Amino acid sequence: MFNSKSGFLLPKIRTVALSVVMALGATALPATTQADETSCSPFTPLIMGQEEFVYVWTLGVEGVGDGSDKLVTVDVNPKSKTFGKVIASLSVGGRNEAHHVGLSDDRRYLWGGGLDTSHIFIFDVHTDPAKPKLVKVVKDFVEKSGGIVGPHTFYATPGRMIITGLSNNKDHGGVTAHVVYNNKGEFVNTVHIPTTEMNGVKGDGYNYDVAINPKKNVMLSTSFTGWNNYMMDLGKMVKDPEAMKRFGNTSVMWDYKTMKPIKVFSTPGAPLEARWSWNKGDNWAVTTTALTSNIWVFAQDMQGEWQAHNVGTIGNPADIPLPVDISITNDGKGLWINTFMDGTSRFWDFSDRMHPKELYKKKIGSQVNMVSQSYDGKRVYYTSSLLGNWDKKGADDEQYLKMFYWDGKELKEGFSLDFYKEKLGRAHHMKFQVRDMSKLKPLHAANTGLDSLSLVMRETADK
C-alpha cells in the first residue's frame, strides 16, 4: 500500500505556510542554488554531489522485450563496477505512452504518467534506490479531474503534486487544466487554464509545463497540443493544415498561492519546458517554442509587471529543427537546448539574458529529446524519444541514454546505452537519485527556510 509521511495539507495550514514562504522568499539565493535535474521543483531535495542512479521512463515498443512501458535504472556512480549499465528494469504492463516523471517533495517517490491511457504510476525510490518498486497506479485520473487527459509534468510542492494535463476527453483537443493531487495519490482539485482574454491576450486553454518561483509567489505555465495531435504520426500531422493549427500559442503567469492567473502572454509556436534561474538576484524564467524556434524570457519590468521577451532564434526555423528539452545551468548563465530533428544539443550563453548567444553545438544522435545535467554541470545526460508516433523511422530511430562530460568547451562521451539493443524500448524522461538522501536539502533551504517549513507542514498534516 502506498503511504507517504508527507501526507496532505489542510487548506488553512497551506494558506498560512505559503504566506510564510512569501515572507521568507525575499531573501536572495546563493549563486549555486540550483542545477536543472531536468525539471525538479524547488521544494524537492537536491543532489549537490555525484548522482548515483538515473531513472529512465521508457516507452514500450511492440516486439521489443516485453513490449511494456518501464522504469529503467542505470548505475552512474563512476566508482561502481556496473557504471553505465542497466541494473534494474520494472515494467508497468502495457503501453501507455510513457512520457514525464517527477519526484515528490521528499524525493522518496517518483510519479510517472501515460499520455494515452492517462494512468499515473507511483514508484518507491527510497527503500532501495537501486531497485524501485511500483506502489500505486492511479487509473481514474480522467474521472476525478473532470475530464482532463494526458498527465504530463509532475511538479512537487509541500504535500502536493501539481500535474499538468495536455488534453480533455470531450474533443481530445488542447483545452485543459492543472490537476492537483496530495502525496497519498489522492485527487485534490482541478484548475483550468484561462480561455478568456486577459491583458489584451486571449487564453487558448492549452497546457504543458509548470515552474514555480517561491520568492515571487509565481508559477509559469506553457502550452503544447492535445491528444488528437500528440498521438498522430508526425509525418501525417505536419501535412495536415488543420492539425498544425491545434498548438498552444500562450504562456501564463500565475499567483502560486491562490492558483489564479495573473497574466496571459502571446508566445506563438508551442512553448514547452519552463525553467527559472535561481542565481542570486535573478527572477526570470525561460522557455523555447517548438514550432517557431524562439527563446522567450519572462521578467518583471520597472513597474513590477511580468513581461515576455523574444530574445533569440534557435537554428533555422524554416527547417523546423523542433526545439524540445532545455536545461539551465546552476548560475543561470548557460542553457542547453536540444533540437529533435537534427539530433543536436546547443549550449547558449545567457550571461546577458536579453541577448543570449549560441556558443557550442554537438550532434548527439539521429534524434535527441531530453537533456539533464548534474548540479555542477560537469555531466550532461541525453535521451532520444519524443513521442511514440513522432520518433523517426527506420535506421534513424535511435533509442539511447548517453552521458557526456562537459568542461565548458566540449562534450566528451562518458557512456552510451542502446535501449533497442538492451530490449528496453524508447528512452524518454530522466531523474537522478542517490542511495543516501539524509544529507539532501531543498533548493531554497539555506536562505528561505523552506527546509524547516516543509517539515512543519508535513508534521502538521500528519496530525
Q: What is the pLDDT of residues 102-114, one digit of tens each?
A: 999 999 999 999 9
Task: Note the pLDDT of residue 437.
Answer: 86
Q: Does some domain include residue 3?
A: no
Which of 366, 433, 431, 364 is CA-nearest to residue 404? Answer: 364
For 206, 223, 246, 305, the CA distances from 249, given in Å and listed in that order, are 8, 7, 9, 20
The 3-state DSSP class for residue 13 equals helix
The 3-state DSSP class for residue 447 equals helix
Task: Note the pLDDT of residue 37.
Answer: 59
What does the pLDDT look like over 301-343, one tens digit per residue? 999 999 999 999 999 998 889 999 999 998 899 999 999 999 9
For the chain, the average pLDDT equals 89
- DSSP assignment letter at 458: H
- For residue 395, is it left (φ>0), alpha (ψ between -120 and 50) or beta? alpha
- DSSP assignment letter at 30: P
Residue 443 CA from chain centroid, whole number = 16
Q: Does some domain include residue 1?
A: no
Query: How many structural domains comprise the chain?
Result: 1
The neighbouring-strand residues paired with 254 are 219, 261
Percentage of the chain exceeding pLDDT 70: 87
Look-up of cell digits 549560441: 358
Q: Does some domain include residue 234?
A: yes
Which of 328, 327, 333 is CA-nearest to residue 281? Answer: 333
Q: Which amino acid, residue 399?
A: Q
Prediction pTM value: 0.90
Residue 304 phi/psi, 5° resolution?
A: 85, 5
CB 126 within 8 A of CB 107: yes
CB 162 within 8 A of CB 178: yes
Q: Which residues contact 304 (CB under 8 A, 6 or more apart)?
A: none
Cell numbers that stand for 169 in this block: 476527453
Using the predicted structure, report yes or no on whether residue 354 has a pLDDT greater than 90. Answer: yes
Strand 323-328 and strand 109-114: the pairing is: unpaired
CATH number of the domain to which 119 belongs:
2.130.10.10
Q: Which residues contact 235 (CB under 8 A, 6 or more apart)?
A: none
pLDDT mean over 374-400: 96
Q: Does some domain include residue 394?
A: yes
| Domain carrying residue 326 | 11-462
Using the predicted structure, report yes or no on whether residue 184 has a pLDDT greater than 60. Answer: yes
Q: Does some domain include residue 6?
A: no
Using the predicted structure, report yes or no on whether residue 11 has a pLDDT greater than 70. Answer: no
Of 48-52, 158-162, 355-359, give the lowest mean pLDDT range: 48-52
With cut-offs at 50, 70 and 90, classify the pLDDT of residue 152: very high
Helix then strand count (H, E) for the chain reads 7, 32
Q: Does some domain include residue 4?
A: no
CB 182 within 8 A of CB 160: yes
Q: Which amino acid, residue 349?
A: D
Residues 35, 33: Cα–Cα separation, whole Å = 7
The neighbouring-strand residues paired with 7 are none
Q: Does some domain include residue 5?
A: no
Q: Does some domain include residue 169?
A: yes
